[in-house]
Amino acid sequence: MTFSFELLTEDTHTAARAGMIHTPHGDIPTPVFAPVGTQATVKTLTPTDLQELGATLILSNTYHLYLRPGADLIADFGGLHKFMQWPRPILTDSGGFQVFSLEGLRKIDDDGVTFRSHIDGSYHRFTPESVIAVEEKLGADIIMAFDECPPPQDYDYNIKALARTHRWAERCQAAQTRSDQALYGIVQGGIFADLRAQSAEFLAALDFPGYGIGGLSVGETKAQMHEMLEVMHPLLPRHKPRYLMGVGSPEDLFECVARGVDQFDCVLPTRIARNGAVFTQQGRVNLRNARFAQDKNPIEADCHCYTCRTFSLAYLRHLLIAQEILALRLTTLHNLHFMLDTMRRIRQSILDGTFEEYKNRFLASYQPVKSRQ
């Protein structure tokens, strides 16, 4: 097994941790934010762009790649790294979240899930065994167990789904044939402390090399998400990385690192960029706003990304209003730089023992988009 996790520092004021994940395709300093490359590309960017941004891990989606271009094709190219020419670590999800989001197009049983493709309506079936086979063909450094993602507020449903997720976790472990991929189990349990605790303990006993935390940031409040992280923190193995799936916003990075999370991924920075929204230290702004029409300043004066080093707000707004493709690339570059750079600063502050101070300073300035607190 060429995968390992070094826990380097634990913060004394919070549950924040700094560490290093070692993988066959290089090291991942943690905590880490992974840009999302759903279809074997982080939208608008080249692998060179991502390396220049300092990305150390990207996520790609098993469900999408399984449907198109197909796992066999990617295997024939020697795996996803070679297919998309990304030389650094990759994580693939299990497709569970996507499949369970196909409302009306999927049917769950204890053995697996039958679903219809969102592309052409064709029928397909995922089981723990078939998903692991696909993830082995894709060849990511970190692969995720196939889990069920139930509605977070339905206690009875969560009890049933959790039992299935746990059986499937064992089946994924048993199905794994490659020794060069780290298979993470995924803790579920909705917004229920007893189920989260039960899940963390059950999966900890299976001794996975890392743990995904699923079923959060799917409609519950921030307070509920934070409470669940606090419940799981002491129960998950201290020397294994914890990956909060599908999270988050800039403020989430601070709040969840403070609760022991080592790994994140989220489409937010790239998705909002394509709508013209960019992160700043004061919060999110939309560059289509007329107040930027004549503004000679960059998005952020002290940002070191290519977009801010090169272009004015007025030019970026012009590109957006004129529906120019370059706009989407430049806003994506900025937003990913913002997330990756913020995470680098978070990590350094943990190593320096100043994380709580940095967290307070950032959150005092950053105005989150209104959401349920």
Please report, as a single letter, which amino acid is at residue 204.
Answer: A
- The length of the chain, given as a count of residues: 373
Nearest approach, Cβ of residue 79 and a second copy (Å):
13
Minimum distance between the CB of residue 302 and a second copy, rounded to whole angstroms?
19
List contacts with a second copy (CB under 8 A): 39-41, 43-48, 68-69, 73, 76-77, 83-85, 293-294, 296, 306, 310-312, 314-315, 318-319, 321-322, 324-326, 328-330
Rounded to a whole number of angstroms, the minimum distance from the CB of residue 371 to a second copy is 28
SS3 363: helix
Nearest approach in angstroms of CB 276 to a second copy is 14
CA gap 97, 212 in Å, rounded: 12
Q: Residue 19 is inside which H or E element, if any?
A: strand 17-23
Q: Closest CB to a second copy among 14 and 38?
A: 38
DSSP 8-state code for residue 97: H
In terms of CB distance, is 325 or 364 closer to a second copy? 325
Structure tokens at 237: 């193995």
Nearer to a second copy (CB atom), residue 76 or residue 357: 76
Task: Tell me if residue 265 is catalytic.
Answer: yes
Conformation bin of residue 263: beta by default, left when phi > 0, alpha when psi is -120 to 50: beta
Residues 6+ apart with CB under 8 A from 84: 37, 40, 41, 47, 60
Q: How far apart are CA 332 and CA 277, in angstroms?
A: 9
Q: Name the active-site residue from 11, 93, 252, 262.
A: 93
Quote the CA–CA distance of 285 and 287 in Å, as a whole number.
Answer: 6
Q: Is 11 a catalytic site residue? A: no
Residues with catalytic annotation? 93, 265
